[in-house]
Amino acid sequence: MRKTIIAGNWKMNGTVPESTALIGGILNAGVAGGKVEIVVCPPFTALESAGKLLKDSGIGLGAQNMSEHKSGAYTAEISAEMLLTLGVTHTILGHSERRQYHFETDDRVNRAAKAALAAGLTPIICVGETLEQRDSGDTEKTVGDQIAGTLAGFAADLLKKTVVAYEPVWAIGTGKTATPEMAEDVHRFIRGKIAALDKEAANLVPILYGGSVKLGNAGGLLTQPNIDGALVGGASLKVDDFVGIINAL
């Protein structure tokens, strides 16, 4: 059985006091330790305080990105080791906002994912098509290339420790969501692509959906056979909304 994961991507939101309040609210809601694996991904500056609050809580702590390098002259970059010492367990990689505004490529994501796995962090690798690509019938080509590129050279044992997030770019922060059927089609396609790399891994890799997930649409999406959880942006910034999505499961 695959894990069900609800991860909150806070993006560039949350000072340390704000993050502390949000995590306090999630802890108070008593949702940890159930059948859903919960991960919160605050900004880098709040990871240390978040790590202290979440220690032994059963809730995972994710970074929103990570360097592919171990250390050295890479100004403003953050390494796996730095994250590990703060209690970080996961890292988002290749989010479409990183691809769009910071020109991140599948190659870079691939190298960073390998570095994360080597250090014992779980990468959450994001893929997804733009509206233009969907409208021109290129969804599978785009997502297929992103899966092939980001997972290139992964041995089966590493593949099995990886999480993938399908986030159609046109659905992120726009209020537009893929219908459960549209999302399921792409999730099934992604699982097929992973199966071509390793069959057993394909059954184990959780594939999360992301893009305007909220309380009202989470149920329909998360009951699809190949949707194993959600990467939640906007709705992860309010305790009631985030906890509501977890409880809906």
Tell me the catalytic residues: 95, 167
Q: How far apart are CA 194 and CA 228, in angstroms?
A: 15
Give, as one character, the DSSP assignment of residue 188.
H
When the beta carbons of 151 and 171 are compared against ligand PGA, the nearer one is 171
Q: Which helix (H) or strand (E) holds 39?
A: strand 36-41
In contact, 131 and 174? CB cutoff 8 Å: no
Residue 173 lies near ligand PGA (rule: CB under 6 A): yes
Q: Binding of ligand PGA at residue 176 (CB under 6 A)?
A: no
Q: Does 231 bind ligand PGA (CB under 6 A)?
A: yes
Q: Does 40 bind ligand PGA (CB under 6 A)?
A: no
Contact in structure between 218 and 230 (CB atoms under 8 Å)? yes
Q: Which of 4, 5, 6, 9 binds ligand PGA (CB under 6 A)?
A: 9
Residue 17 binds to ligand PGA (criterion: CB under 6 A):
no
Tokens 């990871």, residue located: 47
| Rounded-to-integer distance, Cα 231 and Cα 40, Å | 10
Decide if residue 172 touches ligand PGA (CB under 6 A).
Answer: yes
Q: Is 228 in the site for ligand PGA (CB under 6 A)?
A: no
The CB-of-235 to ligand PGA minimum distance in angstroms stands at 6
Alpha-carbon distances, residue 238 vs 131, 215, 230 (angstroms): 28, 11, 16
Q: List the one residue from 60, 168, 233, 243 that touches ligand PGA (CB under 6 A).
A: 233
By CB under 6 A, is residue 31 in contact with ligand PGA?
A: no
Residue 70 tokens read as 């171990």
Amino acid in position 152: A
Helix axes 139-150, 180-197, angle to 10 degrees: 40
Which range of residues in 51-59, 66-74, 140-148, 205-213 is near ligand PGA by CB under 6 A? 205-213
Residue among 104, 167, 184, 198 that touches ligand PGA (CB under 6 A): 167
Q: How far apart are alpha carbons 176 and 167 in whole angstroms?
A: 12
Per CB under 6 A, 213 contacts ligand PGA: yes
Number of amino acids touching ligand PGA (CB under 6 A) = 13
- Nearer to ligand PGA by Cβ, of 158 and 243: the residue is 243
Task: Give the angle 185-186-189 at the CA atoms, nearest 5°.
Answer: 90
What's the CA angle centered on 50, arms 44 and 55, to 5 degrees? 130
Range in contact with ligand PGA (rule: CB under 6 A) among 30-38, 113-121, 153-161, 208-216: 208-216
Our CB check for ligand PGA shows the closer of 161 and 238 to be: 238
Residues that bind ligand PGA (CB under 6 A): 9, 167, 172-173, 210-213, 231-235
